[in-house]
């Protein structure tokens, strides 16, 4: 591709001290940003690290996406984007005429798709999935994909297949080694994703009660397209939780939510590998997946049981198939990118920014190829090639639209409900100063301060650990210096994918938010992978082959071990302790209710800034019950037979925080009652139980 500048040849006559020193300085700088941060020291060290990185890159000592051994096991292939119009689906006009003559049946598939999707759109009314509209929708998508799917291999693909067959025997052992490494990384990642999931995090809060109620509604026949409860939610997680609960036999519980989202976060990792491999090489993809697999940011947003991991889950395959499609010209990749783009719009609201990213990538691609003209055929061929890319963009957009179709119908019927959550954060009197302040804070999230939202972050620390933070900054310097199409696409992804957090203009304290910026982690860890891959390549070239490989393995293991140890501490110690300090122990109330045995005769008296009274019922096995009874309605319980149990707020070390008014009212209504203190750890989470025995 003409717009790609070939990497400079590294100077192998000297030791690779410059890139090594740059990385050491970057690590030292990032260490200074660990709480309590010393920002001035970190800035000075980062300036020195950046200067050395630029120097190393200028001498060809440190680049991105270069060839090298896969940790002394596999030789990575480094794909590059071909010029416009080249690739397996870039066929001449003569070939295209032959294809048209053989594929007239595709028009029938397209017509059938149009009729089916039109009918599905009509029957998607009333915000309900039904067997009829789902069948019409699925068949319409299938016929549409069939109409455009390339099944017959072109001459280019046949020749490539032959070449691959000839190379297969020599590469089989290498591929087996790659597969083993992928499996090993996934096993390591599964430990970080699923270890002690029942206790980290341990307690639900109000958002989880809302989610369980939505899932419960599905079991009662309310198969909604969009769930309006709690300012509105897309449907993917709720149907996914039904499936998870059925497979793991965990019922409508907090654990079902957590298993479901942890799996979604885990499923993101192979696509991060594929994206890194597509942009650079196999080793870069494996390194990206390895560090993403243990990182605290994707781990925490996957464990908490909310929709957060759906954002990166669909960003990764959308970007992968889009970039591969632009490289190979295979129409099928654009269809797949459109399918994942449409599915992502059913997941988590921040994903609505991804169509902007897709458009930006196409625009960058056009600008990067603006000087590419076939010298023999002139501008006419150039326009024809550009038209091909434009057609693929339209195909991707239409595919995503038809996958998004149920929500299109809902948005047209109920625009206020569909757009309320996003619009409520955008409307302010003077948006520009807030936007640029939010943008600055959003960009500093990765290395300085990830915000103060306790649910999905260790508050006010960098989103990245020391190792990945240092590699990320070094990678940004190398990306900005090289300025290729893929580099520009990664940088665009970083900025655009944090916008759902940045655009919280009405509530700037909610920015940065690791959940609403979660899609950016895909680009972040790909940058980390290709940066470390470039450094390892330099180590291999600058030393003897055997010595270089030993040092490669050693550097990789040391950096990974340091990253894994810190991320383990962040998730299983710091995040856990922070979360437990904030979220109330409703599970203990649920245990008390189960021990009592009759939830119909249990009431919880609400108190300001206290528990969500639906959560103890959830723990007790009643996902659709709110046990709240206001203090002034306690007398209504007199008509029910004993035994009865009342739960209300207590503070065993300070009566100032007790709900003494409730105690007085209960003693007036039930003088025979028994007061017991249920002591929790920490003490301020204790609560009173007022037991009324049977007469």
Tokens representing 589 are 């109330």
Residues 562 and 467 grouped into a single domain: yes
Alpha-carbon span 629 to 604, nearest angstrom: 6
Alpha-carbon span 521 to 291, nearest angstrom: 11
Number of domains, the chain: 3
Asked if 616 and 593 touch (Cβ cutoff 8 Å), the reply is yes
Residues 355 and 316 grouped into a single domain: yes
Alpha-carbon span 509 to 132, nearest angstrom: 45
**What stretch of H or E contains 60?**
none
Alpha-carbon span 242 to 252, nearest angstrom: 8
Asked if 365 and 389 touch (Cβ cutoff 8 Å), the reply is yes
Strand bridging mode 602-604 / 644-649: parallel
Residues 548 and 477 grouped into a single domain: yes
Domain contains 165: no
Residues 140 and 288 grouped into a single domain: yes
* Residue 479 vs residues 354, 473, 494, 554: alpha-carbon distances, Å: 21, 10, 12, 26
Of the residues 565, 580, 595, the one at which a domain ends: 580
Within a 13 Å sphere around the CA of 571, how many CA atoms are in the beta-carbon half?
A: 28
| 202: phi then psi, degrees, rounded to nearest 5 | -90, -30
The residue ranges of the chain whose pLDDT is under 50 are: 1-10, 12-13, 67-92, 95-96, 155-156, 373-378, 653
How high is the pLDDT of residue 546? 57
Domain that holds residue 186: 108-150+177-580
Residues 30 and 129 grouped into a single domain: no
Tokens representing 57 are 């890159």
Residues 594 and 670 grouped into a single domain: yes
Residues 605 and 539 grouped into a single domain: no
Instruction: Provide the mean pLDDT of the chain.
Output: 87
Nearest alpha-carbon partner for 304 in 458, 129, 488: 458
Residues 43 and 138 grouped into a single domain: no
| 631: phi then psi, degrees, rounded to nearest 5 | -55, -40
Domain contains 562: yes
Strand bridging mode 602-604 / 233-234: unpaired
Asked if 542 and 10 touch (Cβ cutoff 8 Å), the reply is yes
- Residue given tokens 């948005």 in the structure block: 411
Residues 533 and 670 grouped into a single domain: no
Nearest alpha-carbon partner for 560 in 185, 26, 267: 185
Angle value at C-alpha 366, between 76 and 371, nearest 5 degrees: 95
How high is the pLDDT of residue 373? 45
Domain contains 144: yes
Alpha-carbon span 216 to 72, nearest angstrom: 52
Residues 559 and 685 grouped into a single domain: no
Angle value at C-alpha 185, between 445 and 562, nearest 5 degrees: 50
- Would you call 542 helix, strand, or coil by DSSP? helix
Alpha-carbon span 306 to 455, nearest angstrom: 10
How high is the pLDDT of residue 188? 97
What's the longest Cα–Cα distance across the chain?
Answer: 101
Alpha-carbon span 650 to 245, nearest angstrom: 35
Domain contains 157: no
Enter the DSSP assignment of 5: P
* Residue 528 vs residues 267, 327, 366, 429, 477: alpha-carbon distances, Å: 19, 22, 27, 39, 12
Q: Residue 102: exposed, middle, or buried by beta-carbon count in 10 A (0-12, 13-18, 19+)? A: exposed
Domain contains 207: yes
How high is the pLDDT of residue 376? 43
- In three-state form (DSSP H/G/I as H, E/B as E, the rest C), the secondary structure along 622-678 is CCCCCCECCHHHHHHHHHCCCCEEEEEECCCCCHHHCCHHHHHHHHHHCCCCEEEEE
Domain contains 143: yes
Residues 277 and 231 grouped into a single domain: yes
Domain contains 126: yes
Give the tens place of pLDDT for each residue, 160-184.
555 555 555 555 666 777 889 999 9
How high is the pLDDT of residue 79? 44
Of the residues 530, 554, 580, the one at which a domain ends: 580
| 329: phi then psi, degrees, rounded to nearest 5 | 70, 15
Residues 391 and 323 grouped into a single domain: yes
**Neighbouring C-beta atoms of residue 44, cutoff 10 Å:** 14
Of the residues 580, 615, 647, the one at which a domain ends: 580
**Neighbouring C-beta atoms of residue 433, cutoff 10 Å:** 10
Domain contains 82: no
């Amino acid at each position: 591709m003409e717009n790609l500048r070939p990497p400079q040849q590294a100077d192998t006559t000297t030791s690779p001290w410059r890139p090594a020193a740059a990385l050491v300085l970057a690590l030292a700088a990032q260490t200074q940003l660990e709480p309590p941060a010393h920002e001035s020291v970190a800035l000075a060290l980062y300036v020195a690290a950046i200067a050395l990185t630029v120097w190393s890159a200028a001498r060809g000592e440190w680049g991105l996406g270069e060839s090298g051994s896969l940790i002394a096991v596999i030789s990575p292939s480094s794909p590059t984007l071909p010029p416009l119009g080249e690739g397996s689906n870039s066929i001449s006009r003569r070939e295209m005429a032959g294809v048209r003559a053989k594929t007239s049946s595709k028009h029938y598939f397209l017509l059938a798709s149009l009729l089916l999707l039109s009918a599905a759109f009509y029957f998607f009314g009333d915000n309900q999935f039904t067997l009829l509209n789902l069948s019409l929708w699925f068949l319409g998508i299938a016929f549409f994909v069939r109409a455009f799917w390339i099944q017959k291999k072109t001459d280019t693909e046949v020749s490539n297949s032959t070449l691959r067959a000839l190379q297969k025997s020599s590469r089989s052992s290498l591929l087996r080694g790659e597969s083993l490494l992928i499996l090993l990384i996934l096993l390591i990642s599964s430990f970080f994703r699923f270890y002690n999931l029942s206790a980290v995090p341990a307690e639900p809060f109000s958002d989880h009660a809302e989610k369980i109620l939505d899932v419960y509604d599905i079991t009662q026949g309310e198969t909604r397209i969009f769930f309006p409860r709690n300012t509105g939610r897309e449907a993917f997680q709720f149907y996914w939780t039904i499936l998870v609960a059925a497979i793991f036999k965990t019922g409508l519980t907090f654990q079902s939510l957590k298993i479901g989202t942890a799996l979604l976060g885990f499923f993101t990792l192979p696509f991060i590998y594929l994206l890194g491999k597509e942009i650079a090489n196999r080793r870069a993809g494996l390194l990206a997946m390895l560090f993403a697999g243990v990182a605290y940011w994707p781990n925490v947003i996957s464990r908490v049981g909310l929709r957060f991991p759906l954002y990166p889950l669909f960003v990764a395959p959308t970007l992968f198939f889009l970039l591969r499609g632009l490289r190979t010209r295979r129409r099928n990749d654009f269809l797949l990118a459109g399918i994942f783009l449409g599915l992502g719009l059913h997941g988590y609201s921040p994903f609505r920014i991804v169509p902007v990213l897709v458009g930006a990538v196409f625009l960058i691609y056009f600008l990067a190829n603006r000087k590419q003209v076939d010298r023999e055929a002139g501008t006419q061929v150039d326009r024809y090639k550009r038209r091909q890319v434009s057609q693929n963009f339209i195909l991707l957009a239409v595919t995503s639209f038809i996958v998004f179709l149920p929500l299109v119908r809902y948005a047209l019927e109920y625009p206020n409900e569909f757009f309320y959550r996003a619009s409520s954060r955008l409307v302010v009197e003077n948006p520009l100063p807030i936007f640029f302040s939010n943008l600055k804070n959003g960009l500093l999230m990765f290395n300085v301060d990830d915000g103060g939202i306790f649910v999905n972050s260790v508050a006010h620390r960098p989103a990245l650990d020391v190792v990945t933070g240092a590699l990320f900054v070094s990678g940004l310097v190398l990306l900005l210096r090289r300025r290729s199409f893929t580099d520009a696409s990664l940088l665009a992804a970083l900025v655009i994918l944090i916008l759902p957090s940045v655009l919280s203009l009405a509530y700037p304290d909610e920015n940065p938010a690791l959940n609403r910026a979660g899609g950016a982690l895909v680009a972040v860890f790909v940058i980390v992978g290709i940066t470390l891959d470039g450094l390892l390549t330099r180590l291999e070239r600058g030393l003897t082959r055997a010595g270089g490989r030993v040092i490669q393995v050693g550097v990789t293991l040391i950096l990974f071990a340091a990253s894994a140890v810190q991320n383990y501490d962040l998730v299983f110690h710091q995040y856990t302790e922070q979360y437990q300090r904030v979220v109330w122990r409703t599970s203990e109330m649920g245990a008390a209710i189960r021990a009592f045995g009759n939830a119909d005769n249990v009431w919880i008296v609400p108190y300001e800034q206290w528990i969500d009274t639906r959560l103890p019922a959830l723990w007790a096995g009643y996902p659709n019950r709110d046990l709240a009874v206001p203090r002034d309605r306690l007398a209504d319980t007199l008509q029910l037979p004993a035994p009865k149990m009342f739960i209300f707020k207590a503070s065993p070390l300070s009566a100032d925080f007790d709900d003494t008014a409730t105690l007085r009212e209960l003693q007036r209504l039930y003088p025979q009652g028994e007061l017991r203190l249920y002591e929790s750890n920490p003490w301020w989470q204790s609560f009173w139980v007022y037991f009324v025995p049977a007469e």
